[in-house]
Amino acid sequence: MRKIKVKHYRVLIPPRFGRPQRPIRIAVIADLHNRLFGEGNNELVETVQQQYPDLIFSLGDLTVCRRGKEADISVGAALLKRLACDCPVYCVNGNHEYRAKVYPASYPGVYARLSGELKNAGITLLENAKAQIDLAGTRLTLYGLELPLKYYRKWSKEFVTADQIRGRIHSPDKDRYNILLAHSPVYFESYALWGANLTLSGHLHGGTVRLPLLGGVISPQMKLFPRYAYGMFEKYGRRMIVTSGLGTHSCAMRINNPPEVVVLNLA
């Protein structure tokens, strides 16, 4: 079992949104894809717990949904339910959960079971929705964005605009610090133009294979050297953090690319 990497980022909140009276610690996970780290995911749970987070964000793709294959929600649901025993958990759907949601005939009962289990455990599932969080003297608004599957297809040339994002989640709160949970980082420019002060994304698995100086090699959409495969990016004075995530699915390898939990410190 490969050791889970913990990657720390520090982001300063402008005073107009209320600077935190203490750092706000957020653990961020993505792209589990049913992977287990120890029995019952004990190693992953302990890694997250050891960060003493105030909040936990899950960026989607807990499971794997493929045509003709039975989707297993038990691993991802069990993980988030255990984490929710310690602190609030907020999550969004990735393209795999969204596929089960929009094709219920192909995945009978899968999405209803998953969303039902999460909501019954007190986990906030943001489906093109927002949640306001007031913590340590800071005013946060958390948005969860869902995009149609056409934006995830291999070799896709689709592009989502800021106006299209507004059509899904309306305009951001001007007097609050806006955090956008967007599974795919590909459309960072539009997220920034929409008004996300900070975007958190996954999906690209760090580029699967990471090479020195060159970074990630290939995206799930079969694009070479994806621009936003991993790390922190800035555009128009706004930031995005992309995690390499935890698991794999169709291409079951990660080279120079360990599974990762992100710890975000808002100060």
DSSP 32-89: -TT--SSGGGHHHHHHHHTT--SEEEE-S--S---TTS----HHHHHHHHHHTTTS-E
| In the predicted structure, residue 204 carries a pLDDT above the cut 50 | yes
pTM (2 decimals)?
0.94
Residue 122 has pLDDT above 80, yes or no: yes
pLDDT at 149 > cutoff 80: yes
23-37, 50-64, 183-197, 218-232 — which is least confidently predicted? 218-232
Banded model confidence at residue 96, pLDDT cuts 50, 70, 90:
very high
| pLDDT at 35 (0 to 100) | 95
**Is it true that domain 5-266 has CATH number 3.40.30.10?**
no
Residue 1 pLDDT greater than 70, yes or no: no
100 contact partners, CB below 8 Å, separation of at least 6: 63, 65, 71, 107, 110, 111, 114
Residues 31, 60: contact at Cβ < 8 Å? yes
Domain assignments of the chain as residue spans, ordered by start: 5-266
